[in-house]
Structure 1
Amino acid sequence: MFVIGTVVGCVFGWIGHRKRKALRRYPWTDWPIRYIRVGGDEWVALMGQDGVPVSTLQLSTWPSERGKLVDFRTRQIWFAGDPQKYGVVSRPGGGDLRYAYRSTPKTPPEFTFRTDDSSNRRSSDASSRPEYELTRDGTHPKMQPVGGPPEEPKPYGRKGDVRYPSPRMLRRVLAFVLDWLIHLGCGVGAAIAVSPGFAPDAIARRDWQHIGVNPVVAVGFFLAASAIDRIIIQSIFHTTIGKALFALVVIRPEDGAYPSFGRLLAVWLFDVYLPLAIFGNGAGPDRIEDYFLPAVRWRDVRHGGTT
């Protein structure tokens, strides 16, 4: 709990820093918007003069505050920041401030519906957007393009991806083992350093009950070392200590780009939760593949593997 609380505190501190940075650098600007909300997530689409969205930003909002700053009736907001990156959202005239950012893992759904005006257009027009129809998959209704669902894009960095031809299976296994041993060594070493009652002779006698090291403390330092290596270091250098020794970097499977700090934090929290979910029969995410980032050879990325 201490490690998770520290990481969450750092995230909120980072959000506060970016809010202050946006308010210092950018003036308030009036933006017409379209509000989007799906489940527990909400977005604002900043609309241009031609009615086309310039950018769609996700709002960082507590569950109890969703829909209070903006909702489906809101037509205009104040925005200070870079529409393509992040900024601060407020009501016209000032008021509550919310952090808004471009989120790659979570994007709002986009549907194109057939209207009376468009029904006479020929589908052969290459510039027209695909039309959608309501179908049923068993008992669940869903929207899909007329003529069938589009072909699913192939994930980047998966097995057999020709964009990353260098063999890496053995490197990934060795890098995982090395990272795990480094995190374990940091956890055990730090726990021994802060334990005044540590008795090395008990290890020689295999008297594990009288070693004098609290295993809970060792687990806490293990998680802290793992978070620093897999979140902080990997968000800066795109690799962990173990992966760096084997010339590997992590990429996002959906577009081949490097994962953000938020994506790495979500993956790390999921990996901490995964053993509890397995042994406790807990619920998992809908798209579990989003939490397993592929590791590829650095030379393949350098030669143009990513976009």
Structure 2
Amino acid sequence: MRLSTVILPVRRWSDGGKEVWQHAEELGFHTAYTYDHLSWRSFRDQAWFGAIPTLTAAAAATSRLRLGTLVTSPNFRHPVTLAKELISLDDISEGRVTLGIGAGGNGFDATALGQNPWTPRERADHFGEFVTLLDRLLTQDVVSYEGEHYSAHEVRNIPGCVQRPRLPFAVAATGPRGLKLAARHGQAWVTTGDPKLYAEGTPEQSVAALRGQVERLGKACADVGRDPGELRKILLTGFTPDRPLDSFDAFVDFAGTHAELGFDEIVLHWPIADSMFAADVAVFERIAAEGLGQLGA
């Protein structure tokens, strides 16, 4: 079991931003991710910085901590420009980058460039082509491609990623098309659980929903001839009825229950006061220091 964190890009680098990433490394987190949005929900009218520049600065400020997005989506990204930025980030970090990637939703990112929000089908269509092309761009020196949504003309990506054949993809998905993409292209799979259960569901219902998602991932892997054990299973917390940061014991119980479902990485949001991610910092730091040891991890 791995324990990771999400550090939202809400702090100026010169005013505590750098220190948070360094502290994440000191606490022993496996990976520190950040959201890749232009703005997000209740933080829309507050400070919010770009994911790739933030991760680049974090790479220079740390030496062991893995870094990643959770998640990048096609809403405002293009595979050609994103691939160049990721290869550069992978180089600067000396191979410590994971790309969390998902289909996106109908939040602020979906209309920021002046476009109409995509339907669920359109999001899935873009996502499928986006991931497939990005995989090629990160593994081949020269790529040309003409698709329904994206094009690439003799694009050079030399020297490629430090990590070979490319940096790992952690594919966020719960529907059949997304799960098939995870099975084909992912080194990991990401879920936040069933969003319909967040407000009024129970922890028991959430566990049942996650069990079903894991089973469907296994079927998607079988359909493409892949062993589901090859994919790490990542649970991004904060969107289920559980409250694992309420206490140290609550986390240990939560982690044990979800380890039994097959999850091998749990991601906790770094506490932010006066937000949906508010939490006792002392409890959070104790979990980072001792939590997995209680599970024999």
TM-score class, shorter? under 0.3
Q: Which has the higher helix share?
A: 2
TM-score normalised over the length of structure 2? 0.25
Q: Which of 1 and 2 has higher RCO (CA within 8 Å, sep 6+)?
A: 2
